Amino acid sequence: MNPAQPLVLTPSLLSPDGLVGLIFLIMIGVTLAGAFIAATAERLVRALAGLVVCFTGVAGIYYFLNSPFMAMMQILIYVGAVCVTISFAIMMAAPEHKRKVGPSGSLSGPIGFMVAALVFGGMSTLALRTEWQSFPKVNTGTVREIGIQLLTSYSMVFELISIVLLIAIIGAIVIARGGRSR
Partner 1 sequence: MSLLVIHQYLTTYLVIGAMLFGFGIYGLLTRRTLIGMLIAAELMLAGVSVNFMAFNRFLAPDPTVGQIFTLFIMAIAAAEAAIGLSIVVAVYRYYKTVDTEDLVNLNG
151 lies in the site for partner 1, by CB under 8 A: no
Of these, 30, 31, 56, 79, which contacts partner 1 (CB under 8 A)? 31
77 lies in the site for partner 1, by CB under 8 A: yes
- Region 97-116 residues binding partner 1, contact defined as CB under 8 A: 98, 100, 103-105, 107-108, 111-113, 115-116
- Region 80-99 residues binding partner 1, contact defined as CB under 8 A: 81-82, 85-86, 88-90, 92-94, 98
Q: Please answer whether residues 46 and 37 qualify as being in contact, where contact means their C-beta atoms are separated by less than 8 angstroms.
A: yes
18 lies in the site for partner 1, by CB under 8 A: yes
Q: How far is the CB of 78 from partner 1 (least distance, A)?
A: 7
Phi, psi of 85 (to 5 degrees): -60, -45
Q: How far is the CB of 140 from partner 1 (least distance, A)?
A: 7
152 lies in the site for partner 1, by CB under 8 A: no
SS3 content of the chain, % helix, strand, coil (to 5): 70, 0, 30
135 lies in the site for partner 1, by CB under 8 A: yes
163 lies in the site for partner 1, by CB under 8 A: no
Size, binding site for partner 1 by CB under 8 A:
100
Q: How far apart are CA 111 and CA 101, in angstroms?
A: 19
137 lies in the site for partner 1, by CB under 8 A: yes
Q: How far is the CB of 174 from partner 1 (least distance, A)?
A: 8
Q: If we measure between CA atoms, which residue out of 39, 75, 37 comes closest to residue 56?
A: 75
62 lies in the site for partner 1, by CB under 8 A: yes
Q: Please answer whether residues 62 and 77 qualify as being in contact, where contact means their C-beta atoms are separated by less than 8 angstroms.
A: no
Q: What's the one-letter identity of residue 25? A: L
Q: How far apart are CA 142 and CA 63, in angstroms?
A: 13
Q: How far is the CB of 181 from partner 1 (least distance, A)?
A: 13
179 lies in the site for partner 1, by CB under 8 A: yes
Phi, psi of 11 (to 5 degrees): -75, 155
Q: If we measure between CA atoms, which residue out of 3, 1, 11 comes closest to residue 128?
A: 3
